[in-house]
Structure 1
Amino acid sequence: MTKSGVNERELVMEILLSVTRDGEYSHIALRNVLSNYQYLDKKARAFITRVTEGTLERMIEIDYIINQYSKVKVNKMKPVIRTIIRSAVYQLKYMDGVPNSAVCNEAVKLAVKRGFGNLRGFVNGVLRNIERNLDEIVYPDPADKVSHLSVVYSMPEWIVKQWLDVYDEQTVEKILSDFMEEKPTSIRCNLSRVNREELKARLEDEGVKAEMHPQLPCALMISGYDYLGALESFQEGLFQVQDVSSMLVAEWADPKEGDYIIDVCAAPGGKALHLADKLDRAGSGHVEARDLTEYKIGLIEENIERSGLTNIHAVQWNATEFDKDAENKADIVIADLPCSGLGVLGKKTDLKYKMTEETQKELVALQRKMLSTVHRYVKPGGRLIYSTCTIHRAENEENAAWFVDSYPEFSLVKERQMLPGRDGTDGFYIAEFKKENQKG
């Protein structure tokens, strides 16, 4: 309980229920709660964030542990009780700074408060049993690679198997391990407004730890902040939160003065703004940032306004529908398309529970439908940059091969699959295609 009378563990429970029971995305649910309780001190906000994200990140392992020490299996428990026990087990196993007795007692109190007083003995018994046996947990045999990696790294078995079919066990384990590591936040400096050294100094004045990224001259790695939106440097549009792999899209595009660029799935606008920033410093050109819904366009426009850039505008448009007015208009088309998101599970942990193999197949079909449409916007001699934030050959290399086979006027210039644990980035794929100078 905080000084303000807010029960932190109850807020954690509400966030977890909204994700696991109601299907909300974790980053949205967490952001909404932290926004509603901005008056909470830094320690309380950090506790809520860590327990929420940690419980979701480790949920397969947590359920495996609970099922060893509870007569009622996890999937048979009432949602509120299941959620209380899950978050308590995370605290018992991964938060040494929280006394075990407090974890168990607070879990029981919360169950009673939520109307499950008849289950107080059950909650207490399961948690005390787990507490006594934390050092005795038997994990799946390493010889069973899929099951072992799935439980130890809390990754659904079908994803582990999919990656083992492509990469060796050591590489897969590096990917899985990297998702579990806490990392600084990568940001892109808005170089048309401020240079990187000035931004670094400004952030440090605001109490934020900032380090230069060794490869990208526009990137900084920040940590130690509380609420990003409260930073004046953020409010002034001096930087954009963006992964390093995502920044490479604009680096590959390398626009020149006068280029017209269409980003067909731009929200929330990071890549489009990066390109507009590059064009602004090159003498300008223009970026058309498109997306499907009014909500997403609102996000883009909010970021455009904050950036202060004037060579970019947002347009609501469905990337699967052909826009005759855009035909042969763009020097560069950016197609960062909807994907399974399996490369960013370190940031969006709940995606691994929402994604299925069937949905992956549907996404491959959607990506091909979009590419079949948006490639027509590329001028003769222009380029198309295709990217996804996933590790899945069907969405990446196989789609690139399909595209050049289907549209021979395009040639594959280069492609790259980046992997967590190997490349210092998210799992991200980029392919660059060039259209021949004459219409074929």
Structure 2
Amino acid sequence: MSALFLLTATREALAAIWAFQQPAEAVLAQYFQENRRLGSRDRALLSDTVFGMLRRKRLLEFALAQAQPPHTSTAQFHHRLALLGLVWTASAASAPASTHPADALHHTLAQARQLASADDQPWLESIAQALAGLPCQQWPDSTRHNLPDWLASRLQQQYGDAAFQELTAALQQPAPLDVRVNALQGKRAVAQQQLLEHGLESQPTPYSPWGLRLQGKPRLHQTPAFTEGLIEVQDEGSQLLCLLTDARRNETVVDFCAGAGGKTLALGAMMRNTGRLYALDISASRLQALKPRLLRSGLNHVHSMALSHEDDARLQRLWGKVDRVLVDAPCSGMGTLRRHPDLAWRQTEAGLAALQNTQQRVLASAARLLKPGGVLVYATCSLLHAENQAIADGWEQAQRAQPGAFQPLPLEPIWHKHKISGLLANPTAPHQLQLLPHQHGTDGFFAAAWQKPA
């Protein structure tokens, strides 16, 4: 692909993505569908460019705000953004991971001026001059955290200045690829060797006994380990949420918000394909995506059910009959910004409030399913207190005065049983866990566990 062709493609894709009305992955998939002249390498480069720009959105926009003359149209803005983004991506590929963003931006500008057309030289030169006279210590904080102000404010207040800086730095790095080894099909060492035979190096994940971690973007779907069901893509943090349920043979277990079924598959393996496992979700299309995964996995005890809402009348037949329920509640997804950096710009505080209402209703509905002695795990892939501790603590307090109130279930014994070391529960709430990218290397996840009195 020529440089001009790539610049045009990037500009066209950005025009849709920067509106933040749809997921960036969906926009790119549609763009690739409409532009079949793009080869696999072209698509990979364009994807890397767009996601790299999303991770540094506010830094790049700050740089463009210094341009003289300023852009006079949205199309011109997208052109300038595409040019900077392409050079940024090329520069970042060869720069050490420790490179300061300000140094990377100065290098990007220098490279862009060597490659740009005569029409682009004046505004690139004006940015370089403006930033040369402004020490990076005086740049806005937004150029470092690259988040919307409302989200940055919440996270900084919640985690403190030092942890906030470490967290946001981690969120701006691409996530590794984690897979879960299907214990029904083989051991982790066997899967690791099979991947190695196909040129894919992996390392055992630090915490999950099922996990392997790969770097880059390997083509797993073409390996026998994947096609024969020995491995499934699943972040280590997500694997740990399943382990928290401590699901066992011959039990009745519910994955309440199953989605495409990644956690369902892990729970089924824990149950050794015995008992009854229900995969529930309000999205029939997402549950449909579970079917081929079930075929590969070897599980045949899973029952899918598309619900109309969280209080669907069909749930009544399960009231008081379930041993364990995992509630991976609908959430903002802020813990997955390494993979989906556009999520930060598609979410709002008003949307967050609506999600909290949904989370409260889903948790209350799921709790009705548990029989005496049953275990309830509430989880999100969020970093925000409002979706995590606030929901868990609020539900716990609301039902505390009721007969048969659920009791907090400490996590340490579960870690010990599954030989997991190094994970620390909340010291003031030992039934709660927060996983963080900069501390654990996983996506951001929260979990809380309770048990219904026998």
TM-score when normalising by structure 1: 0.85
Equivalent position of 1:113 in the other structure:
none
The correspondence of residues 207-226 of structure 1 with structure 2, limited to 5 A, is 207-226=199-218
Equivalent position of 2:70 in the other structure:
72
Count how many residue pairs are aligned between Structure 1 and Structure 2.
Answer: 410
SS in 2 for 1:89: helix
- Which one of 85, 89, 113 corresponds to residue 90 of structure 1? 85
- What amino acid is the match of 2:380? T
The correspondence of residues 181-220 of structure 1 with structure 2, limited to 5 A, is 181-220=173-212
- Which one of 101, 113, 127 corresponds to residue 130 of structure 1? 127
Equivalent position of 1:349 in the other structure:
341
Task: Say if 2:28 and 2:47, in contact at 8 Å, map to a contact too.
Answer: yes
Q: Say if 1:22 and 1:159 are closer, same or farther in 2 by CA, change over 3 A.
A: closer
Task: Say if 2:179 and 2:231, in contact at 8 Å, map to a contact too.
Answer: yes
Structure 1 CA distance for aligned equivalents of residues 355 and 43 of structure 2:
36
Q: Which has the higher contact order (CA 8 A, sep 6+)?
A: 2
| Long gaps (5+) in structure 2 | 95-107, 410-430
* Cα deviation, residue 273, structure 1: 0.6
* Cα deviation, residue 10, structure 1: 3.4
Equivalent position of 1:81 in the other structure:
76
Equivalent position of 2:170 in the other structure:
178
Structure 2 CA distance for aligned equivalents of residues 237 and 136 of structure 1:
57
Task: Say if 1:333 and 1:385, in contact at 8 Å, map to a contact too.
Answer: yes
SS in 2 for 1:166: helix
Equivalent position of 1:421 in the other structure:
438
- What amino acid is the match of 2:65? N
- What amino acid is the match of 1:428? F
Does 2:61 align with 1:63? yes
Structure 2 CA distance for aligned equivalents of residues 38 and 208 of structure 1:
29
Structure 1 CA distance for aligned equivalents of residues 208 and 37 of structure 2:
36
Residues 162-209 of structure 1, C-alpha deviations (whole Å, 9 max, x = no match): 112122211000100111223421111112112211211221222222
Equivalent position of 1:117 in the other structure:
none
- What amino acid is the match of 1:352? A
Equivalent position of 2:46 in the other structure:
48
Residues 411-437 of structure 1, C-alpha deviations (whole Å, 9 max, x = no match): 222111122212222211000011112
Q: Say if 1:296 and 1:391 are closer, same or farther in 2 by CA, change over 3 A.
A: same
Task: Say if 2:113 and 2:121, in contact at 8 Å, map to a contact too.
Answer: no
Structure 1 CA distance for aligned equivalents of residues 50 and 166 of structure 2:
24
SS in 1 for 2:183: coil
Equivalent position of 2:251 in the other structure:
259
The correspondence of residues 207-286 of structure 1 with structure 2, limited to 5 A, is 207-280=199-272, 284-286=274-276
SS in 2 for 1:301: helix
Of 355-364 and 40-49, more deviation after overlay is shown by 40-49
Task: Say if 2:66 and 2:130, in contact at 8 Å, map to a contact too.
Answer: no
SS in 1 for 2:439: coil
Of 61-70 and 5-14, more deviation after overlay is shown by 5-14
Task: Say if 1:211 and 1:220, in contact at 8 Å, map to a contact too.
Answer: yes
Residues 394-417 of structure 1, C-alpha deviations (whole Å, 9 max, x = no match): 211111111112223112221111
SS in 2 for 1:268: coil
* Cα deviation, residue 35, structure 1: 7.3
Equivalent position of 1:15 in the other structure:
13
Equivalent position of 2:447 in the other structure:
430
Identity across matched positions, percent: 23
Equivalent position of 1:324 in the other structure:
316
* Cα deviation, residue 211, structure 1: 1.4
Task: Say if 1:301 and 1:313, in contact at 8 Å, map to a contact too.
Answer: no
- Which one of 390, 400, 407 corresponds to residue 411 of structure 1? 407
* Cα deviation, residue 46, structure 1: 3.5
Residues 309-361 of structure 1, C-alpha deviations (whole Å, 9 max, x = no match): 11213210145224211211211111101111111111110011111111111
* Cα deviation, residue 279, structure 1: 0.9
Indicate the RMSD between aligned Cα atoms, in angstroms. 2.7
* Cα deviation, residue 220, structure 1: 0.4
Equivalent position of 2:355 in the other structure:
363
- What amino acid is the match of 1:60? R
Structure 1 CA distance for aligned equivalents of residues 49 and 370 of structure 2:
47
Q: Say if 1:133 and 1:194 are closer, same or farther in 2 by CA, change over 3 A.
A: farther
Structure 2 CA distance for aligned equivalents of residues 34 and 277 of structure 1:
36
| Long gaps (5+) in structure 1 | 109-120
Structure 2 CA distance for aligned equivalents of residues 66 and 161 of structure 1:
24
Q: Say if 1:86 and 1:436 are closer, same or farther in 2 by CA, change over 3 A.
A: same
Equivalent position of 1:111 in the other structure:
none
* Cα deviation, residue 293, structure 1: 1.9
SS in 2 for 1:321: coil
Structure 1 CA distance for aligned equivalents of residues 4 and 316 of structure 2:
55
- What amino acid is the match of 1:217? P
Q: Say if 1:132 and 1:393 are closer, same or farther in 2 by CA, change over 3 A.
A: same
Task: Say if 1:59 and 1:86, in contact at 8 Å, map to a contact too.
Answer: no
SS in 2 for 1:367: helix
Structure 2 CA distance for aligned equivalents of residues 178 and 411 of structure 1:
35
Q: Say if 1:172 and 1:44 are closer, same or farther in 2 by CA, change over 3 A.
A: same
* Cα deviation, residue 102, structure 1: 6.9
Does 2:294 align with 1:304? yes
The correspondence of residues 395-406 of structure 1 with structure 2, limited to 5 A, is 395-406=387-398
SS in 1 for 2:368: helix
Equivalent position of 1:141 in the other structure:
138
SS in 1 for 2:325: strand
Structure 2 CA distance for aligned equivalents of residues 259 and 153 of structure 1:
45
